[in-house]
Amino acid sequence: MEPEFVQGMSRVAEGEVHLTTAKRVAGWLRPAWVEVSLAAVEANAAYVAGLVAPARVCAIVKADGYGHGAVLVAEAALAGGATYLGVALAEEGHELRTAGIDAPVLVLSEPPPEAMRLVIEDGLIPTLYTEEGTHALLEAAARLNPEAPVPVHLKVDTGMHRVGATPGAAVELARAIAGEPRLRLDGLFTHLAVADAPADPFTAHQLDVFEATRSALARQGILPSLLHAANSAGALWHPRSRYDMVRPGIALYGLGPAPSVQDPLLGGLRPALSLKAEVTLAKEVAAGEGLSYGLRYRLTEPSTVATVPVGYADGVPRRLAGTGGEVLIGGRRYPIAGSVTMDQLMVDCGPGANVKAGDEVVLIGRQGDQEITAWDWAERLGTIAYEVTCALSPRLPRIYT
């Protein structure tokens, strides 16, 4: 299927142009782009939904859908069987509502007081874990007078110690929420710290703490209708953590939660994102010449050097070349030569290479029988695939197939 260009928050049906002409439209004159398969996102959501059924799926689309584009990714995930969406910020939820998405949207961390108005106006579901946050939500509800009680989810810190109420405080806060007619406690949840290491016993400990908190609430007659704990790794590798709903993030985008875990379950995921460009200049450079800033990359023989119009301002880390970073051109792997610069990088294609301006360059994705993944980058850079896709700059247009 030929890719279609979608600029900003436009729908595919509006103002679409084909890839062959997209490089000539205003706002995208440079041949470098991110390509996103919405079919892959939908298939990944359906795969996870089938794996965890009867648990629901809350598709995590925060951080602009991990760099994939939140609105279109959310629509694809819902088409694949997700029934909830998860965001980090009320502003991210507002973006979904502005685009016409009416599915339940959970704000995964407690919104600051100044965001509670937006939460209520957009019909978002806030997370609570402090008395201050609860009071701020109540004040906003009193001012705006919503027609029905505001649904909330209570987050319990079971050992990750990022956000959430301690188990004891969670019970007290749940009692306070249950006693407020303007609020309705719909959910209780936690977040797993090491679920991507399946053999680590700490996940079982966290779930034990969560169960104890759940039981303490039940003794108070408080029974939230939605219990959830599983991120992508929990959903895949810890069936006990699935409860009533799972919250896949990285799996939704077709990437495993950890490169070190080889599991047949990962075979059901399809990577959704590719990073591509075109060669803008190819030239023969003599042996002994240095390339890029610092001239630290020296050619040992005459070589065809290709310039590619993408750099660290686009999310390609400067140090990628020094860790053995490669690109694909014509179905072959070639090394990035010298430091990645702000807007461009160079590729050592070897002597007499048949590489010319206009050739497609794949930095992340598949070309022929070769593939470079976000996890390949992550392992070279000492990070995780999540950071790789989230770091791809907004100045790279997103194309949706």
Token pair recorded at residue 222: 């408080």
Rg (CA), the chain: 24
Rounded CA gap, 302 and 288, in Å? Answer: 8
What residue has token string 């939904």?
49
Strand pairing category for 360-367 and 326-329: antiparallel
Whole-number pLDDT of residue 262: 81
Give the closest residue to 348 by CA, choosing from 263, 400, 265, 291. Answer: 291
Whole-number pLDDT of residue 12: 38
Each as own residue / partner, the long-range contacts of residues 175-180 (CB below 8 Å, 24 or more positions apart, any chain) are 175/220, 175/222, 176/131, 176/134, 177/128, 177/134, 177/152, 178/220, 178/222, 180/134, 180/138
Write the DSSP symbol of residue 111.
P
What is the mean pLDDT of the segment spanning 225-229? 98
Neighbouring C-beta atoms of residue 303, cutoff 10 Å: 23
Please give the single-letter amino acid code of residue 295: L
Catalytic residue annotation: 62, 293
Q: Which residues pair with 107 in a beta bridge?
A: 87, 126
Domain 273-400 has CATH 2.40.37.10: yes
Which distant-in-sequence residues (6+ apart) come within 8 Å of 264 by Cβ?
none
Helix/strand/coil percent split, the chain, to 5: 35, 25, 40
Rounded CA gap, 344 and 311, in Å? Answer: 5
Pair 91, 109: CB distance under 8 Å:
no
Q: Is the peptide bond prior to 54 cis by the omega test (within 30 degrees of 0)?
A: yes
Pair 196, 258: CB distance under 8 Å:
yes
Rounded CA gap, 144 and 356, in Å? Answer: 62
Domain 38-253 has CATH 3.30.420.40: no
Q: How far is CA 184 from CA 152, 218, 243, 258, in A?
A: 6, 16, 20, 36
At 304-354, the pLDDT tens digits run: 999 999 999 999 999 999 999 999 999 999 999 999 999 999 999 999 999
Whole-number pLDDT of residue 388: 98
Length of the chain: 401
Rounded CA gap, 303 and 353, in Å? Answer: 8
Whole-number pLDDT of residue 14: 38
Whole-number pLDDT of residue 27: 55
- Proportion of the chain above pLDDT 90, given as a percent: 90
At 95-132, the pLDDT tens digits run: 999 999 999 999 999 999 999 999 999 999 999 999 99
Please give the single-letter amino acid code of residue 268: G
At 287-300, the pLDDT tens digits run: 999 999 999 999 99
Which distant-in-sequence residues (6+ apart) come within 8 Å of 126 by Cβ?
90, 107, 110, 111, 116, 119, 133, 137, 150, 152, 153
Give the closest residue to 260 by CA, choosing from 335, 194, 162, 202. Answer: 194
Rounded CA gap, 53 and 81, in Å? Answer: 10
DSSP 3-state of 65: helix
- Mean pLDDT computed over every residue of the chain: 93
At 139-155, the pLDDT tens digits run: 999 999 989 999 999 99
Token pair recorded at residue 218: 């039940």
Rounded CA gap, 131 and 135, in Å? Answer: 6
Indicate the pTM of the whole model: 0.92
Strand pairing category for 105-107 and 84-87: parallel
All structural domains of the chain with their residue ranges: 38-253, 273-400
pLDDT at 235 over 70: yes
